[in-house]
Amino acid sequence: MARTPASAPAAPPFTGFAKDAMQFWPELAAEMSKPWFDANKARYQAQWVTPLTALLTTVAARLAPTYRPATLGAPKVLRIYRDVRFSKDKTPYKTHVGAMIPAGDASLAEGGCAALYVHLGLDEEFVGVGLYQFGPEALARWRAAVAGKPGAALATRIAALRQAGYTVGGHDDYKKVPKGYADDHPRAALLKQKGLTAMFPAIPRGLIHKPAFADWLAEHAIATAPLVKWLGANVA
């Protein structure tokens, strides 16, 4: 796993997102133009990118001992620019900001696993961990692991997390058990999945504006780390 360069400048402490930061998103959605965004890019950086980087840097330091001897990748704020090449929706900007702490060298776009993913903005707010969608090779490894002994350990971890209030599962899963596996396999539901994530409870109202948001994220990221570590050992 990647290490953050020792020479990297220290991020400022996370003090919370500004109380008026959310106003940026409906304004962007209403304008949705390059001239407007260029004029407000410094505002976006100050209200979202800088504090979000500080937030994830703080959480990563708290989370690192849980993943040792492996190391986490450097926190990464994802691009706000939409890829419109193959989309009917040609709006150029996302109306949210996403950021992650990689559980390895790869980003989400590269099929990497997230030790933490944070999504804040106009459309919805959520936080979680895991791997949203397996690539073809990862999908084959997933099925082999789920069908075998590692799958039994995973089922136990999932049950414990669900009991603790996390939403654990896949997204847009297959309707049928894949070929080569019995329809009545004890982990048939897992075999149908295209990914595996654990979503945190809803962010408490107003918490993103407080330094305690970092504590809340770290607590949940540590609790869900066993799921991420299982993915790292068996799939990612």
Residues 65-113: pLDDT tens digits? 999 999 999 999 999 999 888 888 889 999 999 999 999 765 555 557 9
Give Cβ neighbours of residue 10 (< 8 Å, ≥ 6 apart): none
pLDDT of residue 109: 54
Contact 221, 191 (CB under 8 A): no
* pTM confidence score: 0.90
Question: In the CATH hierarchy, which top-level class contains the domain 21-234?
Answer: alpha beta
**Residue range 52-64: mean pLDDT, rounded:** 97
Nearest CA to 63 among 229, 209, 230? Answer: 229
CA–CA separation, 51 and 13 (whole Å): 8
Give Cβ neighbours of residue 112 (< 8 Å, ≥ 6 apart): 73, 102, 103, 104, 105, 106, 131, 236
Is the pLDDT at 10 greater than 80? The verdict is no
Please tell me which residue, 24 or 12, carries the higher pLDDT value: 24
pLDDT range class, residue 224, cuts 50, 70, 90: very high
Nearest CA to 47 among 9, 68, 77? Answer: 77
3-state secondary structure of 96: strand
* Domain boundaries along the sequence of the chain: 21-234
Residues 154-213: pLDDT tens digits? 999 999 999 999 999 999 999 999 999 999 999 999 999 999 999 999 999 999 999 999
Q: What is the dihedral of CA 215, 219, 222, 225, to 10 degrees?
A: -110
Contact 136, 194 (CB under 8 A): no
Nearest CA to 226 among 63, 60, 98? Answer: 63
Neighbours of 35 (CB within 10 A): 8
CA–CA separation, 75 and 70 (whole Å): 15
CA–CA separation, 150 and 175 (whole Å): 23
Contact 127, 118 (CB under 8 A): yes
